[in-house]
Amino acid sequence: MPPKIRGMTANLTPQKSTLQRFTLMLSGEDAFDRDSDQAGKASPPIGLPHERFLLGEKLPIAPILLLGQTEQVVNPAENIACLQPVHLHATRDHLILMAQNQIDLTPEESAKLLQAALPYLEEDFQCPVLFQAHHDWFISAGPFASLATHSIDQAHGRNIDWWMPRDSDESGLAKRWRKLQNEIQMLWHINPVNEAREQRGLPSINSLWISGIGKLEDVRVPELIRQSGHVYGEHPLLKGLAKFLDIPYCTSADSAQLANGFAWVNDPAKLWSLLSMALVKKQLHEVEIIDFPNGKLRKRILTVKDLNKQSWAFWKNPEPVTWKYITQ
């Protein structure tokens, strides 16, 4: 365990300040292990820690994703579901959900698969599809509104038996969804899209995932994000959240507009290089790091004084603090 970084403060309560601060959030894991003392639980935790931090405990992921991918008006009181074409990888005794960045689905393939499944979806959901994006299809949740689900970000790489949708307020919905899912699986099994993918050596699109059910009026955003001047990151969830809050959004951080910024990026180590230099140049006074060790929220403040590790050997030059050191 490295020595405590001087100046770091845990569980800081956000407050207004004249200091120039930038907040960097890291993705969190749910810290769930079926072989641990949690194995007796009836169901896995709903949502990843950073998903709950960004949106609140009701996790209305689908309407925020929709908001970030379309210019159409989204009804804040409408329960919306996100449907995603996926590949379930068969092992010896169970199925594993592959992440969407592993399947190389093209927009044309996505459109053809939706066209084939559309009559089944509209019949069971009792409404038309609201919007089709490349990886995400959005539809009013209708009779499936109370279904308890998990995002692909949380469930991928795991045995789907434990992460499939479950009943919450109304019994029988999970069974109804599974029936629809099976019908679409059989439909896609003989679809020309999958025949062509097989010839190219790509994984088949053999199932449909549902998640993120919720409505915009249930979004609960932390005050520190509401007060941010700019939001940076590649995840479509962040783009939708910035639009929901009417905050300027960009995929990468602008060195000229770091003050009062918030970021959730794929490569935080690269961004840390920019932020540490901004501390040295006094473009920033503080960098706040938000992460989720063991699934628990943690906040720390770093200043320019924290950029070098102090050694007990006073004759040695201080060593620069690395990103790996910070995240340990």
What are the pLDDT digits (tens) for 264-279?
Answer: 999 999 999 999 999 9
**Position 321 confidence tier, pLDDT thresholds 50, 70, 90:** confident
The torsion angles phi and psi of 24, rounded to 5 degrees, stand at -120, 120
Residue 6 is predicted with a pLDDT of 35
- Give the N- to C-terminal CA distance of the chain in Å, as an integer: 8
Range with the lowest mean pLDDT among 12-21, 112-121, 165-174, 218-227?
12-21
8 A C-beta contact, residue 255 and residue 278? yes
For residue range 268-310, list pLDDT tens digits in order: 999 999 999 999 999 999 999 999 998 999 999 999 998 887 6
Q: Which of 277, 258, 278, 268 is nearest to 233 (CA)?
A: 268
pTM for the model stands at 0.87
The pairing of beta strand 261-263 with beta strand 21-25: parallel
Whether the per-residue pLDDT at 10 is higher than 70: the answer is: no
